[in-house]
Amino acid sequence: MKEQLTSQEWMLLSSYLDGELNPREKTRVEALLKSNPDIQAAYESLAKTKAVLRSAPRRKVPRNFTLSAAAVQQPRQIFQWVPALRFSSVIATLAAVFLFVSQLLPGMAARPLTAEQPAMEMLAIPPDSSEKNLASPEADLQETPPVVYWGGPPPPPSLAEGLGGGGVDAPHAGGMGGGGADPGFKAQGFPESLPQPGISLTPPTATVEPLPLEGSGPILGVRESEDQGKALDDDYRSFVPSVVQEQEAVTAAEPSPSLPYIAAGGLLALAAGLWLISILLKKKSL
Amino acid sequence: MDEAGLIQDALRGDLDAFNRLVLAYQEMAFNLAYRMLSDEAAAEDATQTAFISAYRNLKQYRGGSFRAWVMRMVTNTCYDELRRRQRRPTIPLEPFNSAEDEEIESPTWLADHNPTPDEEIETRELEAAIQHCIQELPEEFRAVVLLVDVQGMDYNEVSQAMGKPLGTIKSRLARARLRLRDCLAGFAELLPVQFRLGKEAELR
């Protein structure tokens, strides 16, 4: 019986049983039922099956399923972070793998400092350092340490003001050096109780009246008597400290060869931690 | 019961209004869940979960049959439970027959062993047979035949409840009925005479 009907005919009979056919289909099925005993039997079997199911006893509810305010509260929002944590973990892992691979591939690894790079080359004078110092003395005043002058004639007031002192014979010594013994110059911004009178410091606003020196010798910062009052090579003295500072900055910025591995290890630890947290949160939510 | 008014009140956060809807549909929901899961405790949990989910997602209700919408929540919850069972299969608490060294297959072994009237026994056995045949159906067939033949819903409601087109519902229902007919034929002696098919009815 089952094999004699197509699935389409079974569907029509089933729908006819439930009264879900349109008038045209209904007429067609009723004609078939009258003319074909097999279809009639099939229809009766479906009707009895439905009747059996309908006869199944209905269970009484064991309790009421009404909701309380506590029951309908939204679940804790923390569990919604699980996908984000897992995604972050995967990203951290990929970043760590990329770092490792980039170190293994030739040409991509961080270049270590080798013997072929002479250390002195790092101290090469920037071509524009002296020009920069001359062009922008005010900027250099902030960076260069004060230079102590001992003795010497006072600088002309026009140069000493704002640019620092200088010797009479060195008109280009702006920005560096102390002032001369001009009584018109007063120490500004320097403590009056300085125990070394006669010392002047840059910035140029600080000028101290020099006192005549007594004695001679290789004392640091004390010029020979014949050199007193002459300006030193101010360009050299101004750029050397700045070059040293630049060298220190370059050395500090130079990446260590092991740094990528440390970073990759950190990323892997981060990935493992995030994954572990997501698993713990997932277990709590179940 | 002003269903539309209760739904509107529930949408505004009136839990009491929603609970009145729960009381109206809880028996239907529980029976559907029980037939789907064949486990009273699991059906209880599924029904409660479905009503909680319905309240939380009430804003997604777009009109139409509210009963169908609630039954959709129930069937979806039952699908989740069935999938969870597949992921974590459990060993049923079946009694062990030490004499024959095999499990007793009757699912009613935990039933009350006090003497009962014959009709009650027959009813239980018939229900067990029906439930057995329902459980033999694929999940998507099971839900359709339960909603139409057990719960008495029309095709449009079932289509809404299942989220499937009418043609799919018709097709699944016909195939489900065919499978049920063949399965129930194996329990002919349990069926009342008026329900017996073909030759079994004549032999009686």
Predicted local confidence at residue A171, as pLDDT? 46
Q: Give pLDDT tens digits for A183-222.
A: 444 444 444 444 554 454 555 555 555 555 555 555 565 6
Q: What is the DSSP letter of A74?
A: P
Predicted local confidence at residue A1, as pLDDT? 46
Mean pLDDT for A128-152 is 54
Whether B183 contacts chain A with CB within 8 A:
no
Sorting pLDDT into bands at 50, 70 and 90, what band is A127? low
Residue A17 CB burial class (10 angstroms; 0-12, 13-18, ≥19)? buried
- The pTM for the full model equals 0.54
Residue B96 pLDDT exceeds 70: no
* Cα Rg of chain B, angstroms: 20
Mean pLDDT of chain A: 69
Sorting pLDDT into bands at 50, 70 and 90, what band is B71? very high
**A56 contacts on B by Cβ (under 8 Å):** 35, 126-127, 130-131, 150
Sorting pLDDT into bands at 50, 70 and 90, what band is B117? low
Task: Identify the CA nearest to A231 among candidates A182, A160, A161.
Answer: A160
Residue from A5, A26, A52, A59 to probe the interface with B (highest B Cβ count within 10 Å): A52
**B47 contacts on A by Cβ (under 8 Å):** 61, 65
Chain A to chain B Cβ contacts (< 8 Å): 116
Predicted local confidence at residue A6, as pLDDT? 87
φ, ψ at A149 (rounded to 5°): -110, 135
Q: Which range (A95-104, A107-116, A238-247, B179-188) has the least confidence?
A: A107-116
Classify the complex by whether its ipTM is higher than 0.90, answering yes or no: no
φ, ψ at B102 (rounded to 5°): -150, 160
**A75 contacts on B by Cβ (under 8 Å):** none
Sorting pLDDT into bands at 50, 70 and 90, what band is B82? very high
| Residue A150 β-bridge partners | A199
d(CA B72, CA B33): 11
Q: What is the DSSP letter of B203?
A: H
Q: Are B162 and B200 in contact (CB under 8 A)?
A: no
**Where is pLDDT greater, at B152 or A107?**
B152
**Where is pLDDT greater, at A254 or A167?**
A254
Chain B nearest CA to A271, separation (Å): 27
Residue of chain B minimizing CA distance to A44: B197
Residue A135 pLDDT exceeds 80: no
Whether B200 contacts chain A with CB within 8 A:
no
Q: Which range (A60-69, A80-89, A247-256) has the least confidence?
A: A247-256
d(CA B70, CA B77): 11
Interchain pair A53, B52: CB under 8 A? no
Whether B11 contacts chain A with CB within 8 A:
no
Chain B nearest CA to A51, separation (Å): 7
Mean pLDDT for A90-99 is 89
* Cα Rg of chain A, angstroms: 47
Q: Give pLDDT tens digits for A33-79.
A: 999 888 999 999 999 999 988 888 888 999 999 998 888 876 666 66
Tell me the H-state helices in chain A: 7-17, 23-35, 37-55, 82-104, 129-135, 137-143, 157-163, 234-253, 259-285
For residue A132, what are the contacts with CB-CB under 8 A and spacing of at least 6?
A126, A139, A140
Residue from A25, A53, A73 to probe the interface with B (highest B Cβ count within 10 Å): A53
d(CA A265, CA A277): 18
Interchain pair A64, B22: CB under 8 A? yes
Q: Give pLDDT tens digits for B144-203.
A: 999 999 999 999 999 999 999 999 999 999 999 999 999 988 887 777 766 676 555 544
Interchain pair A46, B171: CB under 8 A? no
Residue A164 pLDDT exceeds 60: no
Predicted local confidence at residue B134, as pLDDT? 93
| Residue B102 β-bridge partners | B97
Dihedral, CA of residue A239, residue A243, residue A244 and residue A248, to nearest 10: 150
Predicted local confidence at residue B2, as pLDDT? 87
Instruction: Considering only the beta carbons, identify the residue of A14, A61, A65 that sits closest to B177.
Output: A14
Q: What share of chain B is helix, strand, coil (3-state, %, to 5)?
A: 70, 0, 25
Predicted local confidence at residue A43, as pLDDT? 93
Instruction: Considering only the beta carbons, identify the residue of A11, A48, A68 that sits closest to B174.
Output: A11
Interchain pair A50, B15: CB under 8 A? no
**Where is pLDDT greater, at A41 or A223?**
A41
Chain B nearest CA to A33, separation (Å): 17
Q: Are B14 and A69 in contact (CB under 8 A)?
A: no
Residue A5 pLDDT exceeds 80: yes
Helix (H), strand (E), coil (C) string for A149-193: EECCCCCCHHHHHHHCCCCCCCCCCCCCCCCCCCCCCCCCCCCCC
Predicted local confidence at residue A78, as pLDDT? 62
Residue from B197, B200, B204 to probe the interface with A (highest A Cβ count within 10 Å): B197
d(CA A27, CA A21): 9
Interchain pair B44, A62: CB under 8 A? yes
End-to-end alpha-carbon separation of chain B, Å?
47
DSSP-derived pairing of the beta strands A149-150 and A199-200: antiparallel
Chain B nearest CA to A278, separation (Å): 20
Residue with structure tokens 């006893």? A57
Scanning B80-139 for CB atoms below 8 A from A yields: 123, 126-127, 130-131
Predicted local confidence at residue B189, as pLDDT? 75
